[in-house]
Structure 1
Amino acid sequence: MISMNYDNGLIFLPLGGSGEIGMNLNLYCCDGKWLMVDCGISFADERAPGIDLIVPDARWIAERREDLLAIVVTHAHEDHVGAVARLWDQFRCPVYASPFTAEILSLKLAEEGIEDAVEVNIVSPGSSVQIDAFHLDFVDLTHSIPEMQALMITTPYGRVMHSGDWKLDPAPVVGPESNLEKMQDISTGDVLAMVCDSTNVFKQGVSGSEGDVQESLDSLLARIPTGRVAVTTFASNVARVSTIAQIAERHGRHVVLVGRSLYRMTEAARKSGYLEDLPAFVKEDQAAYLPKDKVLYLCTGSQGEPRGAMARIARDDHPHVSLEGGDTVIFSSKVIPGNEKTLFALHNQLTDLGVNVITEAEEFVHVSGHPARDELARMYEIVKPQISVPVHGEARHLKEHCALALSLGVPEAIEIRNGDMLKLAPGKAEIIDKVHSGRLAVDAGGATPLDGEFLATRRRMIYNGAANALVIVNEKGQITEDPIVRLRGVVDEDLFPDLHEDLKQAIVKRHSELSKRDQTRDSDVEEAARQAIRRTIRRLAGRRPVTDVHVVRIEDEDE
């Protein structure tokens, strides 16, 4: 690596969102001063049991916060804004966001009790701001949430188009179409680099229009004249919420919002001037008084989240909403990779209730908010960057995006990962260093490293169970009582009737192999017993339980 020098030049550094989808955190440096673009979360999977949220490990930039000018948020999706409130205390810098995004952010700041501490600057969509040496032009692009703003970042060393999440939707339902005229105008002349969304790089053609989904859902609802209908989608997909509310009204159904995040998102949208023409939503506790064919539940939990509204309804655990035979559930969302098992289990639960389940596999009920290949090609045609820097994708997405960019005539494409410090100018663009990046699991009381010992122990306990032992010895180190072993989730003990006797004998035998000196040291006695337990259980059952041993040393009685 080349020796680091932040005092001159233009640098791009992702700490989240490159090599993965979600948890976006991007940094730009101009002459030693840093600008953060987005600070989002990711959602946990089975690798983080008991954890809901993952945030970027941003300690590298936190240690340089005196040079961090601001956080600029492109839009209000959780993977772009969700970690601002949780991590802001590490940064303590101003935040810039559009009106709708600021509304969503304000709720998160209030939850953390820091709404009065954070300076939030509201930037009108399509306007511009100057932050030290960075001049930012905001450009409207369509997405599945209002006010998605791409950024043309102009510096003394050149200009960078930071796309954020986007698509080219001719009928977006909520908000304006992508402002390609402005994109064309501000791209006139040399654009040094485009840092661009890679999510749908494998999808041929275009991503599809929200207006087309509206027509399809309208037709689908017309074919469901009886029974309750429940639709689940991402709470942040304000366009889809509007679509569903409009078609429900046309078919004489009242929309019932089910899930707190839907209430919060729709309230923020209305405060920002969206969804004003929709009929009032019915409250959950009032919906039971409506005829079955007059209700449409709009629910959270499209990915089968255990605490999401749809999962609670499926297991008959919701206080106000229930479904039965003859009702219909529409999953108006894609299956996020990794959620397949959870979602299919939810589909089966609903089917067992007699509910008709409809997904994107059966009907046209969802379009993505990210650009497919034709849309990417159109954007490269407009911006004409010298360098393509794909982000917002897994390794395979980034590699394919680089190949696509080169095939479109972009002179250079650089494949990057979290922590790669890319010097863009002056001189040849190249990765000059690798800095610390990582993931933190948000748990009770704070954040802990995703690859740390805490979660590693939790995973071991889930898959291998736990063993606790009590060993009583005298001052000379002799075991005076039978060791006591308690197992939790290790094996079905009814299948191993001799297991506890085997464990006792193994502990005593291993203890007898210690030297007289080691028998007088509690730490050595503990480790010997731990080894005996783990080896015995591994030999009999193939498990490696998390094992704790407590040694009680008693004084010898005086003669």
Structure 2
Amino acid sequence: MNLNLYGYGPEGEQKWIIVDCGVTFGDLTTPGVDLIMPDPRFIEERRDDLIGMVLTHAHEDHMGAVAHLWRRLRCPIWATPFTAWLVRDRLREFGLLNEVELHEIALDSRFSLGPFDLQMVTLTHSIPEPNGIAIRTPAGMVLHTGDWKIDPNPLIGEVTDSDAISAIGDEGVLAMICDSTNVFTPGEAGSEGDVRDELIKLVGECGTGKVAIASFASNVARLQSAIQAAEANGRRVCLVGRSMHRMTAAAKSVGMLSDVKAFISEEDAARFPNDKILYLCTGSQGEPRAALSRIAEGNHRNVSLSSGDTVIFSSRVIPGNDVGIFQLQNRLAERGVNIFTEKDRPIHVSGHPCRDELAQMYAWAKPKVAIPVHGERRHLLEHAAFARELQVPQSVSVRNGDMVQIRSDGTASIVDEAPASRLHVDGNFIVDAGADSMRERRKLAHAGQIAVAMAVTDTGELVSGPEVRMQGVPEDANLSLDGFADALADEAERAFDRLSKRDRRDVERAEEEVRRAVRREANRIWGKKPWVEILMLEV
């Protein structure tokens, strides 16, 4: 959910650029929420001074919020070809393609936006065309790495441009804003070339059954490795899942995946012998609506897996997705499917730098200040300490919203705090994470809902009800749902009877008193405090 702001100029005259604008995904703490985005209100209030957005790469956590938030920002966008293709595709979905000024720039481009002189720097990562950005201003230069690793054999794209980074370092880097994801992991992340060799070997060992490989669709190098593993073992490839089709189309649009055989449709794949087909699937993170989950449930329209077939998870378990992934793997195992993960064979490498790679980046860039980003709090603190071990003069540990002033003398400090809340994509609406609706949703998910309807006269006499309706409330061996509802109805009536005639005629006050009584009674019986709604109708 990355959104970075860089500003230059005296207070009141600053010009701003955005680097990246991404999403993260909802979880059990945000029921009904599809996506979560950073709240851009700080820069939205300064939109006249926002002169552009630059995207480092096309992962959803770096560009997935562009279409959602663009109407709030209304700034031009710059991106390299692969990223630009995917941004256009998303803008088209939102009906924005003709409104947005999108500049497609070449790799290694250098261009100016107001007081900013921007140089794109080629890196390696788990997606095509990852870029760092050298941001030059009259006060000096900062290096924003984006996501990266050092891969001597990335398979798709160029190797990390160490010469460019070294030249930037020799020129003088005030501060480096750098990826912290793998700071606790010693050594190096590993190469995609090694993964390809292992996938070819593993697919060859899978016998006569069907094979499915689950991977991140955005990792085009991994997709190509899976395709080569299939072709090396006499199998044809069928893409399963919308993201697979979208990413391969984007890759082909910029000249990638040009030397692979044509993909087989799902309908045609069903007619192939089992040992002649390989399914390349979305859903490696256990997403309920993704292709692999539907296959595991047995309700995919065209694809089925059973005893003797194999699923290869060429991906890692992203923290927070553990439960969903293990449930998916258990459902596959129930069907007799053989499962291989990175724990069994070396079929995945990270796209983020481990400690040796971080040390090398600092040796090239030689920044005066380290500003760790992209990680949990403990990652940022460890990265800051590691930078000091590497003799970086100063490191600044930041939280969301911290405004860091980077000075021309090579020092930096946190000088202010900007609003840094979250926005939820809730169906067709975008709502603040702190909205009452989200608080109510969490309560409903935790303890259900009880509604009580009562009809009263204008003189405060109860003439009908209470009628109780419950949702999400369990049944107990000692108390049926009807018994539970009757107990709540009795308590609602007793609470109403306790009110004075004056209070009964005050509908709002009467509803609140009855609501509190019903909630207390529900908690006494059940041990939980459900969401309680009282509907008191005057007749």
Same fold (TM over 0.5): yes
Q: Distance in 1 between matches of 2:47 and 2:492?
A: 54
Residue aligning to 1:433: 416
Write the letter of the residue equivalent to 2:4. Answer: N
Greater CA deviation, 450-459 or 522-531?
A: 450-459
Contact 1:187 / 1:383 at 8 angstroms: preserved in 2? yes
Task: Give 1:335's match in structure 2, choosing from 317, 325, 337.
Answer: 317
Please tell me whether the aligned partners of residues 507 and 528 of structure 1 are also in contact (alpha carbons under 8 angstroms).
no
Amino acid of the structure 1 residue aligned with 2:172: D
- 2-side partners of 1:484 and 1:446: how far apart? 33
Q: What is the CA RMSD across the aligned residues, in angstroms?
A: 1.1
Cα-to-partner distance string for 1:373-413 (whole Å, 9 max, x where unaligned): 00000000000000000001110100000010000000000
Amino acid at match of 1:165: D
Letter in 2 for 1:25: L
Which of 475-484 and 294-303 deviates more? 475-484
Superposition deviation, residue 491 in structure 1: 2.2
Relative to the length of structure 1, the TM-score reads: 0.94
The question of 1:353 aligning with 2:331 is answered: no
Conserved in 2, the CA contact under 8 Å of 1:490 and 1:543? no
Q: Is the 8 A contact 1:197 1:370 kept in 2?
A: yes
Corresponding position: 1:320 with 2:302: yes
- Does residue 424 in structure 1 map to residue 406 in structure 2? yes
Distance 2:261 2:465 in 1: 73
Once the two structures are TM-superposed, the CA of residue 493 in structure 1 deviates from its matched residue by 6.2
Please give the secondary structure, in 1, of the residue aligned with 2:187: coil
SS in 2 for 1:346: helix
Question: Which of 508, 528, 545 is residue 493 of structure 2 equivalent to?
Answer: 508
Indicate conservation of the 8 Å contact 1:34/1:67, yes or no. yes
SS at 1:431's partner residue? strand
Matched, 1:38 2:20: yes
- Which residue type is aligned with residue 44 of structure 2? A
Alignment of 1:383-394 (within 5 A): 383-394=365-376
How many residues are treated as equivalent by the alignment?
532
* CA offset digits 1:225-258 (Å, max 9, x no partner): 2100000000101110011111110100101100
Map of 1:251 onto structure 2: 233
Which residue among 331, 350, 368 is the counterpart of 2:350? 368
CA drift at 1:544:
1.4
Structure 2 matches for 1:531-542, cutoff 5 A?
531-542=516-527
SS in 2 for 1:385: coil
Shift of residue 495, structure 1, vs aligned partner: 4.0
Describe the superposition over 1:72-93 as per-residue Cα deviations: whole angstroms up to 9, x where unpaired.
Answer: 0001111111111110111111
C-alpha distance in 2 between matches for 1:92 and 1:335: 36
Return the letter of the residue paired with 2:448.
G
In the TM superposition, what whole-angstrom CA distance separates every residue of 1:149-178 from its partner, at most 9, and x where no partner exists? 111111011100100000000010111111
Q: Which amino acid aligns with 1:221?
A: V
CA shift digits 1:66-113 (9 cap, x unpaired):
000100000111111111111011111110000111001000000110
Query: Per-residue CA shift, 1:33-68, capped at 9, x if unaligned?
Result: 001000011111111112221111111111111000
Alignment counterpart, residue 496 of structure 1, candidates 474, 479, 483: 479
The equivalences for 1:16-95 within 5 A come to: 23-31=1-9, 32-95=14-77
More displaced stretch, 120-129 vs 399-408: 120-129
Aligned to 1:14: none
Q: Are positions 1:530 and 2:508 aligned together?
A: no
Q: 2:105 aligns with which of 104, 114, 123?
A: 123
Q: Does 1:279 align with 2:261?
A: yes
Moved more, 370-379 or 48-57: 48-57
Give, in whole Å, the separation in 2 of the partners of 1:481 and 1:319: 51
Normalising by the residue count of structure 2, what TM-score does the alignment of the two structures yield?
0.97
Q: Secondary structure at the match of 1:380?
A: helix
Q: 1:109 aligns with which of 91, 109, 117?
A: 91
The aligned amino acid for 2:20 is D
Mapped contact 2:174–2:408 kept (Cα < 8 A)? no
The match for 1:403 is: 385
Partners in 2 of 1:470 and 1:293 — Cα distance? 63
More divergent stretch after superposition (413-422 vs 45-54): 45-54
1:329 counterpart SS class: strand
1:130-149 map, 5 Å: 130-149=112-131
- Conserved 8 A contact 1:38-1:71: yes
- Structure 1 CA distance for aligned equivalents of residues 207 and 491 of structure 2: 69
Residue 463 of structure 2: aligned partner? 480
Shift of 1:288: 0.5
1:356, distance to aligned residue in structure 2 (A) = 0.5
Structure 2 distance, partners of 1:150, 1:305, is 30
Percent identity (aligned): 47
Aligned to 1:113, the other structure's residue is in SS state coil
Correspondences of 1:166-315 after superposition (within 5 Å): 166-315=148-297
CA drift at 1:494: 6.2
Q: Residue 34 of structure 2 contacts residue 427 of structure 2 at CA under 8 Å; is this kept in 1?
A: no
Deviation at 1:426, TM superposition (A): 4.5
For structure 1, list consecutive stretches of 5 or more residues without a partner in the other structure.
1-22, 555-559
Higher relative contact order (CA closer than 8 Å, sequence separation 6+): 1
- In structure 1, distance between residues paired with 2:269 and 2:79: 36
Match of 2:449 among 432, 453, 466: 466
Structure 2 distance, partners of 1:401, 1:263, is 37
Match of 2:428 among 437, 440, 445: 445
Q: Distance in 2 between matches of 1:481 and 1:88?
A: 52
Q: How far apart in 2 are the matches of 1:58 and 1:215?
A: 44
SS at the partner of 2:462? coil
Aligned residue for 2:347, secondary structure, equals coil
CA shift for structure 1 position 451: 3.1
> Given the alignment of the two structures, is residue 546 of structure 1 paired with residue 528 of structure 2, yes or no?
no
- Alignment of 1:380 onto 2:365: no
Aligned to 1:4: none
Letter in 2 for 1:44: G
Please tell me whether the aligned partners of residues 33 and 427 of structure 2 are also in contact (alpha carbons under 8 angstroms).
no
**2:270 aligned counterpart, secondary structure:** helix
